[in-house]
Structure 1
Amino acid sequence: MQLTRLPAPHLRPFVRLLWTSSPRGTPLARPGAREHVLPTGGMHLVFRMGGPPLRLFRNDADAQGFTVGYAMVGGTRSAFFVRDVSVETPSVGVMLQPGAARALLGAPEDALADCHTPLDALWGADAGFALEQLHSTDAPARRLAIVEALLTARLGAHSAARALHGLHPAVAHALASLSGAIAHGHEAQAGTIGQLVRHSGYSHRRFIALFRGMTGLAPKQYARMLRFDRVLAQFAIEPGQPWVDLALQAGYSDQAHFNRDFMTIAGMSPQAYRRAAPSASRHVDV
């Protein structure tokens, strides 16, 4: 069971979505079960409300893995990660907007990218307080309200929150341009990135640093994630459509390029993904 909703208006420059999920009935145990979690192109704040702490694996061959905890930040990623799903656990989460991490977490996106960070490393004792608040109720809507109140308090605690409100104009323009290009089925080539740099008025190095600091990814990586996201979204609507058609619609130059990107991002081929038939597009049992 999952409940999702938009945040209150004052949080929308920082928060894209709030969600909470819980198993239906008695949680199922699947000893040794793992899944590939495919990247969204964004950053997530997650609280696990039961079961064991989050266990991740460095790759498919890692037999031991490592634990992260019950409250953590999943940084922006350019490829999948592997997690233990042997026990279903109720969770509460937040998908953040680009540029929100400094205001809500106290660190820029690029400092948290490509890894999971225990929330107490960023919030200190407030991370434990947040978990206590969430454990005070089993009602999904109430848990979302608690998270919303905690994030509102985080903004209020930062005197510079107003200055941190929103994206740097150069990054905002770049994100809109890349999204528009992908939506029209155009591939983001080196020339496209060059145009964004020239429009920004900054040096290439400075622009890339600004972009990474607010998204966690370089512009070309971000464009690749947008293109991959478009393919998955269309696949969910038309699962019988040939991969080559989906790839061309999303702006891939050819199927070989698409296959390479898919393998890198998802850790499996498009054909293997189709065979897995995941019920949730970004969570694939392996």
Structure 2
Amino acid sequence: MATLHRAPVPALRALVATVWAHDPSPGAPASPGAREHVLPTGATHIALRLDGPPLRIYAHAADPLGQQLGHAVVGGARTVHHLRDVSQPSASVGAMLRPGAASVLLGAPESTLAGQHTPLDQLLPASEVAALSERLRACGDGARRLALFEHWLFVRARGRPVVLHPALIQVLQRPAHPGQRVADLVRASGLSHRHCIALFRQVTGLTPGQWLALQRFNQVLGRAVQPLASWSDIAAACGYADQAHLANSFRDITGLTPSAWRRQMDPVEPRHVPQVLEPRPRPP
């Protein structure tokens, strides 16, 4: 299995945070029933599967059927994990967008995409999505696929720059720190509370409170991938009241306890964690 994950070409960096391409190992076997927890980033994502079955997601661990979405989807900003089917190996390509980029690239503000997956051909002409997928499938490897995908993003963005309110740029670029509150963001913006929250939701899909919670969660993940970092130290460094507070918040966001996440995660891909089903108790 090979995953290429990098910053986009300079011409796209105002719109796109990262791009990636994934190729399964040759002859990789199917894993019937396999699912994974996909942990939130707080950003909008575009993803295209190039072979195998369409993307299928599940509402919760006990959901037997899930929802089939298609091969090309937009994942809006989320505050909690979702479960997806990974039973069949598949090649894919995608991008994580910056705030405000969805309006430029997809014609839809982040606020209308948040908390859900939307088929790409519901936002763009189906013929364009089909042609892009066909051209991507014809690429020989992940590097060529990424170059083609970036060119498609560049063409869609040409002449349509991201225009964010200057006050919002200041807020989004402000480094998050433990103890930071929504009132701090609003005050830094210089806007009224209502105006700041409305603008923030439009370009991120999140409220300032949700964004701050995810910034803190991101800091937790950054520290927790180090195996010797203790959860109590991480809780203190990231502004949680105590380790129990961190554990409860972590479980709400990921669907896993901190210890279960650490046992199962891959440090290279800490936001993609195999689901481990608990054995059912035997009947008496």
Task: Give the TM-score, by structure 1 length.
Answer: 0.91
Q: Which moved more, 1:9-18 or 1:131-140?
A: 131-140
CA contact (8 A) 2:176 2:216 kept: no
2:234 to 221, 246, 250: 246
Question: How well do the aligned residues superpose, as a CA RMSD in angstroms?
Answer: 1.5
Aligned length: 272
Q: Structure 1: 5+ residue runs without aligned partners? A: none
State the partner residue of 1:37: 38
Aligned residue type for 2:164: L
Matching of residues 14-163 of structure 1 within 5 Å: 14-125=15-126, 126-156=128-158, 161-162=160-161
Would you say 1:270 and 2:272 are equivalent positions? no
Q: CA offset at residue 110 of structure 1?
A: 1.2
Aligned residue type for 1:130: L
Task: Give the TM-score, by structure 2 length.
Answer: 0.91
Q: CA offset at residue 166 of structure 1?
A: 4.5
Q: Structure 2: 5+ residue runs without aligned partners? A: 276-284
CA distance, structure 1, for counterparts of residue 116 and residue 239 of structure 2: 28
CA distance, structure 2, for counterparts of residue 199 and residue 188 of structure 1: 11
Secondary structure at the aligned position of 2:249 is classed as: helix
Q: CA offset at residue 66 of structure 1?
A: 1.2
State the partner residue of 1:169: 166
Aligned residue type for 2:147: A
Deviation string 1:156-198 (CA, Å, 9 cap, x unpaired) is: 3xx6x13xx2532222111222xx232xxx2223xxx223223
CA distance, structure 2, for counterparts of residue 40 and residue 123 of structure 1: 24
Q: CA offset at residue 116 of structure 1?
A: 0.7
Would you say 1:229 and 2:226 are equivalent positions? no
Secondary structure at the aligned position of 2:94 is classed as: strand
CA contact (8 A) 1:14 1:166 kept: no
CA contact (8 A) 1:27 1:89 kept: no
Q: CA offset at residue 232 of structure 1?
A: 1.0
- Among all aligned residue pairs of Structure 1 and Structure 2, give the percentage whose two residues are the same amino acid: 45
CA distance, structure 2, for counterparts of residue 139 and residue 272 of structure 1: 34
Q: Which moved more, 1:274-283 or 1:83-92?
A: 274-283
